[in-house]
Structures are given as C-alpha cells and as structure tokens.
Amino acid sequence: MSGFLELQSQAEALLRVFIETADLKKDELIVFGCSTSEVLGKNIGKGGSLEAAQAITAGLLAVLREKQINFAAQCCEHLNRALVVEEELCRELRLKRVMAVPYPTAGGAFASAVYRSCKNPVLVEEIEADAGIDIGDTLIGMHLRPVAVPLRLAIRKLGEANLVFARTRPKLIGGERAKYTLE
C-alpha cells in the first residue's frame, strides 16, 4: 500500500507544479488521461489497477478542489474516450451528455475511480479544456481547445508512465500588421 500512497503524493505534487507553470486560474478546466497500466510499467490497457487509480485520483482531486479548478477525466477507447465530469459543469458548459458508467474493463481504472469520487458524475462526449495532463500516452489532445502549447516540466514520469503537459492559448488572428498586446 505504501506504493499507492507514494503515487498519491506524486500526483498531488505534479499537479501543483503544473498549475503554477500553466498559470491555471479558478474555474478553468483541465483534462486528464491516465493509463494505470503504464504507471505500473505495463503496456497500456494490459494491467490496469483500480488501487493505483484511486491513489492518483485522490492526489489530483485534493488539489483541484482546493484550487477550485474544474476537471474532466478521459475514459479509454472502449467508451469512445468520453469524459467524466461533475453534472454541474455539464450543465454550466451545456455539454452533450452520454450514458455509460466507466468500469476498469470499459472506461479504464482511472475514469472508474474518478467517477466514483465525484459528487454527481456524468459522462460527456467531448470538451474543450484549457489545459491537460496525459499520464501514459492516452492521447488527450482531442479534448483540448485549439491552440495547445506543450509545457516542459522537470517532472517527466508518474510511476513508470510518461507525462505530457499542455496549456492552450487563444488563436492568433490577423496578418503582419496585427498586434497582440495593448500599447
């Protein structure tokens, strides 16, 4: 169990660094993808762990709730990469809700753990998040706003899983005469 407590602590620490680096604010939205198989050093989809997922979820949600940052957790491809969100966020953003309940074998261990840790969880089909953390190469890019900008942090792994961090920015419009700051 001490390994899972370490995962919880690492997840909390990496999220704190990310929030500061990405300059995330209250009420912004972050999307997570997580392969617990990859975290535990196995191939994605081949050795998920609900216990590891619960530890990671506990670390992430503690920080998110403290900072009042919204979140979405991506399910695996067996649920078409639907996302777990709080029902209140679904209503607020007028998201398209879909019907399913994630389980470790259909949705993934991480999405299952997040779903069971939410106050009023629902699944939505898609979202455009302000930032994202991909734990274990789960391909969260489809749920980020255009334009995604990769961030490089000193933290490169959670357990054995690769970490990819991204923040989004508004599209730059105009041509050579366009300015992007008020003079």
d(CA 137, CA 152): 15
- Looking at the chain, the number of H-run helices and the number of E-run strands are 5, 9
2-168, CATH topology level: Rossmann fold (3.40.50)
User: So what's the pLDDT on residue 1?
Assistant: 46
Write down the pLDDT at residue 30: 98
Q: Which residues of the chain have pLDDT under 50?
A: 1
**pLDDT (0 to 100) of residue 18:** 98
pLDDT at 2: 60
At a CB cut-off of 8 Å and minimum separation 6, what does 183 contact? none
Question: Could you tell me if 62 and 19 are in contact, meaning their C-beta atoms sit under 8 angstroms apart?
Answer: no
C-alpha closest to that of 19 among 157, 155, 117 = 155
How high is the pLDDT of residue 117?
A: 97
